[in-house]
Amino acid sequence: MAERHTNYITYKTWGNHAGKDVYLFRLTNAQGAYIELTNYGATLVSVVVPDAKGVHENVVLGFPSLEGYLHDLCYIGSTVGRFANRIGNAQFILKGKVYTLDPNDGHHANHGGYHGFHAQVFEYAIHDRGIIFTIFSADNEGGFPGNVQLKVTYSWNDDQQLQIDYEATTDQTTVLNFTNHAYFNLSACKRTILDHRLQIDSAAVLETTRQYIPTGKILPAGKYSFEKETGLSDKIIVKADDIQGLNHYYIFKDRNQRDTVVCSLTDPESGRSLKVYTSYPGVQIYSGDFLTSVSQTNHATSYQPLEGVCLECQYFPDSPNHPDFPSTILNPDERYEERIIYRFGIAT
């Protein structure tokens, strides 16, 4: 697909955290659609794109000020690392050594633990296509081995395509798994996600415990299949005192095809669509069952469950404890290189 980059990039001071300046960046394309980013957590703050009538609105959850992100407990829009998703019992064995991590999710580690990248300030550089965020993670940060250097590049083009590239190196063998934790609502939060339509190029999911830790088994998606476009409301059961939604890892049929649409999401009423491409082998679909916010949001009210859905392309959760899963090990002579593309448009 042809790419045209005519971004108009502006930025402003947004605050200070841990003695480091925080900025808000805006990348606007030739159609007037734009994204906003901050170097706090290398976070996606907003994506403002048109609906079928040409009305531009924000289709990701976020906050109008740094304060909202400092109090956020749901990783809204953030870069997740060092390891996306859960690691069982907050430990793993690598080269015969046991590594103990931050147990920030019961007995388990989730999204990098208390020292996760979602709550750290990145360095930044502006280039003609977007913003490059970089961060250095010292050996044993969060319990993970190795001095790691991460670069996250956000690019935005005239085709309403948001591309996120992850590059990392290490000075000793470690495990890495990065993703973006954006919550999408293509109605611009006028409605919940229950009327959205979802399709996933997957026929298999990971079996997990009630705490979302993989057992090691790969199962047919069955009733959770989204191979054919299906309404999210067909898959999510809402009860008065108990919300049971989607928090499943889907394994893509073709793990090596970067040019294939692996997920598509549409909102029939607004006409907006989202197509996802990636180099990762699968995606965690999370319907925001426990979504909450204590600060004012970009959509004026506090966020509630089912107001956003995450399409978190990543490696398998708990991979370090499952040798049969695709490896997340990175050695000093290797480079971590993965990509996620979110392409916004109008459903046809």
Give the number of other CB atoms < 10 A from CB of residue 123. 13
Name 266's bridge partners: 197, 273
% of the chain beyond a pLDDT of 70 = 95
Give, for 252, the enclosing helix (H) or strand (E): strand 247-252
Question: How does residue 129 score in pLDDT terms, banded at 50, 70 and 90?
Answer: confident
d(CA 181, CA 118): 9
pLDDT score of 236: 84
d(CA 182, CA 45): 9
- DSSP letter (8 states) at residue 172: S
CB 37 within 8 A of CB 21: no
Average pLDDT of the segment spanning 241-266: 84
pLDDT score of 91: 98
Is 181 noted as a catalytic residue in this protein? yes
Nearest to 68 by CA among 298, 289, 306, 304: 298
Q: Among 181, 248, 299, 322, which one carries the catalytic annotation?
A: 181
What does the block give as tokens for 10?
């502006």
- The string of DSSP letters for 139-160 reads TTGGG--S-EEEEEEEEE-TTS
Maximum Cα interatomic distance, the chain, rounded to a whole number of Å? 59
d(CA 131, CA 278): 19
d(CA 23, CA 42): 10
Question: How does residue 2 score in pLDDT terms, banded at 50, 70 and 90?
Answer: very low
pTM over 0.85: yes
Q: Among 36, 57, 307, 312, which one carries the catalytic annotation?
A: 312
What does the block give as tokens for 156?
């935005």
d(CA 282, CA 286): 13
The per-residue pLDDT for range 305-325, each reduced to its tens digit, is 999 999 999 999 999 999 999
What does the block give as tokens for 105?
């999710």
CB 276 within 8 A of CB 341: yes
The per-residue pLDDT for range 3-50, each reduced to its tens digit, is 445 579 999 999 999 999 999 999 999 999 999 999 999 999 999 999
Q: For domain 8-346, is the CATH number 3.40.50.620?
A: no
Question: How does residue 128 score in pLDDT terms, banded at 50, 70 and 90?
Answer: confident
Secondary structure of residue 320 in the 3-state scheme: helix
Q: Where are the domains of the chain?
A: 8-346
